[in-house]
């Protein structure tokens, strides 16, 4: 775990853009067990690719997309391990990945962006990928 003073601004990077920070497995379960609507899930991280690509791409896609998920949540890898584990249960069969981004529609995982899609891509492609997923599913 990291000191909270260190992760607070990283959390705020997404919560200030409309993401709800979930801290417990019960909170995650309450959101992801819903069978109606769309939910965007960001597994946040302190790593460089989260700072330089994942979080900026999420914010750019959400702010510029015509269609958007009904709900946006985030869990923080390396901090709330139980909440992250619960979110990852819903992302199976994809292996654990931080950062990662998942889109759910009516309780089903419909789009997944893993760490290797983030660190091996440029920001514009990640934004376009997300906007395409929003357009197709939201």
Query: Low-confidence residues of the chain, pLDDT below 70?
Result: none
- DSSP label at 19? P
Please give the angle made by the CA atoms of 104, 108 and 111, to the nearest 5 degrees.
50
Task: Report which of 70, 64, 67 is spatially closest to residue 19, judged by C-alpha positions.
Answer: 70
Cα–Cα distance for residue pair 45/25, rounded to 1 Å = 18
Cα–Cα distance for residue pair 13/135, rounded to 1 Å = 24
User: What is the model's pLDDT at position 120?
Assistant: 84
User: What is the model's pLDDT at position 1?
Assistant: 82
114-136 per-position pLDDT tens digit: 999 999 899 999 999 999 999 99
What does pTM read for this prediction?
0.95
User: What is the model's pLDDT at position 55?
Assistant: 97
Q: Which residues are annotated as catalytic? A: 47, 49
Cα–Cα distance for residue pair 121/110, rounded to 1 Å = 20
SS3 61: helix
């Amino acid at each position: 775990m990291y000191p909270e003073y260190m992760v607070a601004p990283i959390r705020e990077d997404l919560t200030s853009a409309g993401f709800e920070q979930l801290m417990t497995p019960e909170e995650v379960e309450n959101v992801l067990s819903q069978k109606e609507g769309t939910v965007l899930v960001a597994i946040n991280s302190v790593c460089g690719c989260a700072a330089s690509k994942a979080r900026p791409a999420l914010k750019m896609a959400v702010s510029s997309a015509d269609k958007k998920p009904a709900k946006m949540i985030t869990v923080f890898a390396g901090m709330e391990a139980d909440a992250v584990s619960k979110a990852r249960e819903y992302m199976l069969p994809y292996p654990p990945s931080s950062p990662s981004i998942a889109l759910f529609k009516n309780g089903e995982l419909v789009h997944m962006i893993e760490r290797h899609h983030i660190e091996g891509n440029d920001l514009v492609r990640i934004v376009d990928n997300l906007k395409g997923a929003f357009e197709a599913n939201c």
